[in-house]
Amino acid sequence: MSMSSPAAVVGPAPASATAIVEAATGVRVIRWGFLGCGKITHDFINAIKHLPDVELAACAARSLKDAAELAQLFAIKRSYGSYAELVADPHIDVIYVGTLHVSHAEHATLCLNAGKHVLVEKPFAVTARDAEAVFALAKQKNLFCMEAMWSRFTPTHVKLRELLAQGGLGTPMCVDACFGVQMPNNVPRLWTNALAGGALLDLGVYLVSLTANVFGLSGLQDPVRLVAQGDLSVAERVDVHDTLSLSYGPGRMANLSISMLTDMKNEAYIYCSKGWIRLHAPFWCAQTLSYKRAGEEQVTVLHFPHEKRADQANFLFKDSQLMVFEAVEVAACIRAGKTQSDIHSHSDTIHVARILDESRKQIGVVYAEDRKGTIV
């Protein structure tokens, strides 16, 4: 009599971690892919990794070794040595693009053509023309697409919009702000023309975006006058120190200073018809906002302390943990079936890009992208 092994009992396949979270919370888990494995991508992943509705699905770099190292560091499920493999992965909902400025539009296009939602680091594109083309593609594909202007989603900037919308301070009339940091001269992306280096695209985008946000609440569009002045580096002809003067009509203006050569106060003041608001340094991720109404002696000071995480030392850039707020917005928009954010829309990004284009033109900064056709 032969003895046979007992038959294996086959049950249902174990549920994935994603399915378990969705079943427990009723919230769809968003599966993130990461295109580019540099420092900014590192910090974005570190910022979002603890969110319960996030799956770190896959990452890709030009080198499989670099992608594998990032995947191991953050327990990302899959790593690829090419961007084509990443966008072809069927188990990704949205891709964060954290590559160099000159590649943003190209890589966003790659993601959209593969049917993936996309969050693109700022500046969204080198030119407004490329930004318009990418957003048009996103609309055609019915996919979510947004520039990662993280400051707009931080608690301090949310409060700024609330104060302006409430109307108690009157109409915004002037933005006076500066962003200056003495940049190291050994970072090619900042100082190389072929990489779209310079102060405007790296730092100025924050100032112009803030200005557009403030005056956008008044229903205003492009400035009626823009005067830009700047100094260029001798070797690469990228802008290193700039001043922008924008007029949005009578009584509404902005004075912006930008520098890669010197440290500035890095504060922003919004002067209104019935008071003022101050975003304390650093204005783009301020922990303190103060304001004063006309005719009152008291200055109201509001504090928005940043979360001090146990892994704070793991961030490569100061205050990068605040990038979590833009990721939350992306997830909410995708779940709602939206193709753009109401807080930072396609038109917001294009508006800023047009101002940066004209500023570069006046200052004399010319990139290869200015001579090309659109990416898409």
pLDDT of residue 375: 57
Q: CB 94: neighbour CB atoms within 10 A?
A: 23
Share of the chain above pLDDT 90, in %: 85
- pLDDT surpasses 50 at 2: no
pLDDT band at 308 (very low <50, low <70, confident <90, very high): confident
pLDDT band at 272 (very low <50, low <70, confident <90, very high): very high
Read off the pLDDT of each residue in 281-296 and give the average, rounded to a whole number.
97
Q: Which residues pair with 200 in a beta bridge?
A: none
Could you say which DSSP state residue 372 is in? S
pLDDT of residue 222: 82
The tens digit of pLDDT for each residue in 166-201 reads: 999 999 999 999 999 999 999 999 999 999 999 999
CATH number belonging to the domain at 152-315+343-370, selected among 3.30.360.10, 3.30.2290.10, 3.30.930.10, 1.20.1730.10? 3.30.360.10
The tens digit of pLDDT for each residue in 5-39 reads: 334 334 344 444 455 445 545 678 999 999 999 99
Handedness of CA 64, 69, 70, 72 (dihedral sign): positive
pLDDT of residue 310: 85
Q: What's the predicted TM-score (pTM) here?
A: 0.92
pLDDT band at 250 (very low <50, low <70, confident <90, very high): confident
- Scan for tokens 């007992």, then name that residue: 6
- pLDDT surpasses 60 at 298: yes
Q: Write the CB contacts of 258 (distance below 8 Å, at least 6 apart in sequence).
A: 178, 179, 180, 199, 200, 203, 204, 207, 239, 241, 242, 243, 244
pLDDT of residue 26: 61
Distance CA 67, CA 180 (A): 33
Distance CA 22, CA 194 (A): 45
- Specify whether domain 17-150 bears CATH 3.40.50.720: yes
CA angle 181, 186, 189 (to 5 degrees): 75
The tens digit of pLDDT for each residue in 203-219 reads: 999 999 999 999 986 56
The DSSP secondary structure of 58-110, one letter per residue, reads: EEE-SSHHHHHHHHHHHT-SEEESSHHHHHH-TT-SEEEE-S-GGGHHHHHHH
- pLDDT surpasses 50 at 1: no
Phi and psi at 333, nearest 5°, equal -65, -40
The residue extents of the domains of the chain are: 17-150, 152-315+343-370
pLDDT of residue 301: 98
pLDDT of residue 216: 82
The tens digit of pLDDT for each residue in 34-70 reads: 999 999 999 999 999 999 999 999 999 999 999 999 9
pLDDT of residue 219: 61
